[in-house]
Amino acid sequence: MLVGLLGLQGAFLDHIPHLDRCGATPVVVRDIQGLSRVDRLIIPGGESTVMTKFMVEFGMLEPLRARINSGMPVWGVCAGAILLAEQVDGKSGVLGVLSAQLTRNAYGRQIASDAISIRVPVLGLENYPAIFIRAPRIDTLDPSVTVHARREIDPVFVQEGNVIATTFHPELNSDDFFHRYFLDL
């Protein structure tokens, strides 16, 4: 299975050891030709505005949206979740494929980044150390979106069909729970 890592900016390389351990073949995607080769795609954490700029410049927005809408599994991590959302900070989202409204950097600046213990019943995890770095907050969700985990009352791991999003960074932990879940979509 070829798993794309959107490699325009951000922490895409941190996913490679997880995918290797899971038996998947990671492929860094930087253009529409690379996008056409992969079975699924991870949009990493990083700077969503920079990733958006490059996706527009390289003509990737519409082909990516079309692939997702046709059923390609996609996982947005932190900034990736921002790119997937229908609305961000009260404005239209970039890809608009996740029925959610998000607020950027809702938990504070870089200095406020932390690890919070969360429950993830779908993965059988009771005290998962979720690492939040300038994380967005999911403010509202359509009823079609399933919440798999929360930080207090805020959803932090959600799924709508073939689209999953985490507002924290599972790739920074040594386990492969979230990558295995994504590969099973």
Residue 160 a catalytic site member: no
Q: Which of 10, 146, 176, 184 is nearest to 83 (CA)?
A: 10
C-alpha distance from residue 89 to each of 25, 71, 77, 160, 169 (Å)? 35, 27, 17, 20, 21
C-alpha distance from residue 128 to each of 70, 116, 122 (Å)? 32, 8, 12
Question: Measured between alpha carbons, how far is 168 from 172 in angstroms, rounded to an integer?
Answer: 9
| Rounded (10°) CA dihedral 36, 156, 158, 133 | 0
The active-site residue, picked from 15, 148, 169, 179, is 169
The active-site residue, picked from 15, 18, 78, 86, is 78
Residue 78 a catalytic site member: yes
Residue 171 a catalytic site member: yes
Question: Measured between alpha carbons, how far is 39 from 73 in angstroms, rounded to an integer?
Answer: 8
Please identify every residue annotated as catalytic. 78, 169, 171
